A and B are shown apart, each in its own frame.
Chain A
Amino acid sequence: MTRVFHLAANTAVMATTSKMTSTNYWDHFVARMGVRRGDHRVTPGLYKLGSPSTDSPVFVTANYSLSFDALRTSLRGLNAYILVLDTKGVNVWCAAGKRTFGTRELIRRIKAVNLNNVVSHRRLILPQLGAPGIAAHEIKNQTGFLVEYGPVRAADLPEYLTNHRATPEMRLVKFPLHDRFVLIPVELTAIWLPGLIAIGLGYIIGNLPYALAVLTVILGGTTFFPILLPWLPSKDFSTKGAFLGLVAALPFVFSVFLQHADWSWYHQAGQMLGYLLAMPSSIAYISLNFTGSTTFTSRTGVRKEIFAYIRPMAVSFAIGLVLLLVFAFVK
């Protein structure tokens, strides 16, 4: 049985399990599709998993449902407390960057749920990626609780909990194909409406080739770029994207050459150049924006990229667009 009934009146302990319901799966699906991104929340506060005692471990997480669910399902069979911080429905790492998964909120939450009286030990297990928001020494000073940084991924918790030591592998953040792949729907959801409008405009102005060119840019930037990221040449996202855009533009260039042999040379050259200037620059721009979704780009580097490439991108795109417009009408 639980031993939480002697708690002070203002510390309502909520109950949770390690099970995923169909509602949870649906919530995850909707979140992964990038729909109602701020709405995937759980109520902040203290939860009991199983039948925890005063010796049971306390885990801390964010109130984004995917974060909370990853934690509770990884603790299957364990009796534990889960302290959920109010991160406004944002995952642990991003919230730590914005300091909502932060020192102040953790201290406030520890006091609000009276954690001193709930457990007899003074130890909290936090996800490693919460560290940018949490000053462990401040927590110790102000609450007496010792912050222990667990592994990056909740899935590694069972192994971690055998000796409370993380292997170097558990401490490392990578960006494997799966992690890049799941971002694609979110990217697409964000631009599907302007994307469709642009495809429609492309069709009106330049028929099927222009519509396909716009579609190629959208899919190139949002789908092919994340998948191909590690294999595209150079380190900068802008140049990686420009390279991808150049490859994507080649079929359009050749189709002008092959299908419109009757056109004048300057009409052919104008449209070819239009594709070669507009497509790489626009895919490069979408690619540059993808730095915000990755797990490894520094702000200094991104700023450097922006100041190096934004103007050439804009100029190249503008000239390319003008050429494509002009040579859609000039015969």
Chain B
Amino acid sequence: MFNSYLENTLVLDAQLCTGCTLCVTVCPHQVFAITDHKARIINPTNCMECGACQVNCAAGAITVTSGVGCASAMINAALTGKKEVACGCC
């Protein structure tokens, strides 16, 4: 109840992972750990979708929808029921 932060867009394809450990290094919320030379998501709900892991994953094993997101666009869409249109402010 009253927790919108249980799900996010972070996906790790362990098959592609080369075990370089950079995701563990760049993540500011300890979402990843390395076991048996492969990255693993240990704290999925900690992810804030900053995108650091994806950008720095040379193997392309991580996908996450990052970006600040335009709050006023989301608010307008939620109020009017129309499609989300970014205002260009951010």
Option from A94, A235, A296, A302 in Cβ contact (under 8 Å) with B2: A235
In the bound complex, residues from chain B placing their C-beta under 8 Å from that of A310 are 75, 78-79
In the bound complex, residues from chain B placing their C-beta under 8 Å from that of A183 are none
Shortest distance between the CB of B44 and any CB in chain A (Å): 11
- The interface size of chain A toward B, counting residues with CB under 8 Å, comes to 45
How far is it, in angstroms, between the C-alpha of A307 and the C-alpha of B69 when the chains are bound?
A: 14
CB-based contact B68/A97 at 8 Å: yes
How far is it, in angstroms, between the C-alpha of A108 and the C-alpha of B3 when the chains are bound?
A: 43
CB-based contact A168/B65 at 8 Å: no
CB-based contact A301/B74 at 8 Å: no
Contact digits for B1-35, partner A, Cβ 8 Å, 1 yes 0 no: 11111011100000000000010011111100000
In the bound complex, residues from chain A placing their C-beta under 8 Å from that of B78 are 306-307, 310-311
In the bound complex, residues from chain A placing their C-beta under 8 Å from that of B75 are 306, 310
Contact digits for A210-245, partner B, Cβ 8 Å, 1 yes 0 no: 000000000000000000000000111001000000
- B residues neighboring A (CB under 8 Å): 1-5, 7-9, 22, 25-30, 46-52, 55-56, 58, 65-69, 71, 74-75, 77-79, 90
CB-based contact B28/A295 at 8 Å: yes
Taking A304-B4, A306-B71 as known contacts, 18 extra A-B pairs with beta carbons closer than 8 A to each other, sorted by chain A number, are A98-B90, A128-B26, A131-B52, A131-B56, A132-B50, A132-B55, A137-B56, A152-B28, A235-B4, A235-B5, A292-B68, A298-B48, A299-B49, A301-B8, A302-B69, A302-B74, A304-B5, A310-B75
- A residues neighboring B (CB under 8 Å): 94, 96-98, 103, 128-129, 131-137, 149, 152, 166, 168, 171-173, 234-236, 239, 289, 291-292, 295-308, 310-311, 314
- By secondary structure, the A interface counts as helix
Shortest distance between the CB of B31 and any CB in chain A (Å): 11
Would A128 and B1 be within 8 Å (CB), given that A133-B55, A300-B8 are in contact?
A: no
CB-based contact A300/B74 at 8 Å: no
How far is it, in angstroms, between the C-alpha of A270 and the C-alpha of B58 when the chains are bound?
A: 62
CB-based contact B58/A137 at 8 Å: yes
Shortest distance between the CB of A12 and any CB in chain B (Å): 31
CB-based contact B28/A129 at 8 Å: yes
Shortest distance between the CB of A93 and any CB in chain B (Å): 8
How far is it, in angstroms, between the C-alpha of A310 and the C-alpha of B69 when the chains are bound?
A: 16
